[in-house]
Structure 1
């Protein structure tokens, strides 16, 4: 059985509801703060596990009540958290999240224990990676660790997915061992700016892969999700729902996508359909980890919609995995931001 490995962040989310998101210099009244487990890495791991995958997580929490609560949620979701480090010298990472009446959000992150994760921790967490496994990464931990994790997993035959969020400030070496980039409209534009490629997000889905040497899947909220397979644009329309809170919707999508691709059980279009349905259900609920649905809550029919272009007979339904990039450095025991 293939495994989804996740290396990433764990945070406690401080959620505050507001009528409208504050502008620069503006003070708005909000609800009492509610604390709930989150972090992009943790959310994606829980989503993959609730989608039915075997999941192993590598990350760090503080030796505090928030950290213990997060570990409990991972355990209940059947995520293997044996490679989560408990850091006595730092608090669990914190995300302050404001959500308005339309379900849109603003997020401020304090990394806390996430910054204490080391290269040795990453190597230990990925020791069991095998061909057919999937590695999922984000950018809420130091980018040097992201590059290391991708290189290690790729050298062992895994398919590497990077959710480039938050949007990177540079891409030098970041994508060397990445097979599939998952981004939203803002993140794909940030990548395009770094690469010097103009266009709308639909155009960039086709234009950026040869420049970045990685396939791209773009999620666009109510517009659905897009990717390119052998020159043909694949579009999965979004399921229409009334959003209560969009926090964690993208993470739900990524986790379900990874679980669906692990072991080659589904092609990319079918995986996108399943991930889209899961994220649509997540936005009807509040919170991050708490909002992620279990697979039994999704509709039974997971076939691609009729309006999806059928892949050509000669076209694989997954981007061809990269060969591992040559290693240029030996990982150190601690990696700075």
Structure 2
């Protein structure tokens, strides 16, 4: 019976030790949890601080950008300060809210907004070979100025068959390569522009043409190929260019092209350098119709000539008429009438 209190004391001691050990373990677990949370919070705090630094840097960049824009627009910071100092405060004006700055925002620089300049915005600088306006396609931006172009070989700035202005540098280049293929060695665009006829447009005319209005100083009109043969043969003598062909001497040599079974028909001609009287020329026999031909035979549709073929017809017609330097008659529209003929009409002239 005397050992019972001792046993109870030992039992109580064991229970107290176990309870304290469990409490110690619980407290250590909570401490570990808190330390983990503190570490996460510290990392978040560091991330927030770095974000604040990035935002401050962006604010500085934006402020510098607006300051540069204000300087380019013609308003200096000194003018802004003088305007702000002389500005009268309004009685009913509400005071703008000031942004609240935290302790970490001491490095933020707040720049006042610059006043916009009242000057009109400048038009963008045109690029090379830009057309000034669709109504004036032969005026392009070349060598830092608006320049009107035309062909240096024939003086034309429009299509001979359609009488439409060349579509910029490309249209002039196409005409240069097609109509004058036998006269040029370098077929590149740069060679065409280097040898093209030019006229620098005045600033007043350029301003009107950019707005689509007619130029007041020098009008931009179609330039036709005047004196084409004289430009083609500048070294020919006048006696060789000025020859007459009578009805008795026949007609000049003309090659008919564009029709099936077409052959060159030649007749005799009188030399203008001779002083003797012309003898009667032998008549030219017309070819007889074959048995298959009939007056009701279907006619071949006329072929539309290209610009190069039109130039060849002009040359052949001028040589046949004997007046290569003659100015062309003007039609009802006021434009020169070149009398472009098809191959069938050329055959009819020979017959």
TM-score (norm 1): 0.20
| Between structures 1 and 2, the one with greater helix share | 2
Q: Taking CA–CA contacts closer than 8 Å with sequence separation of 6 or more, which of the two structures ends up with the larger relative contact order?
A: 1
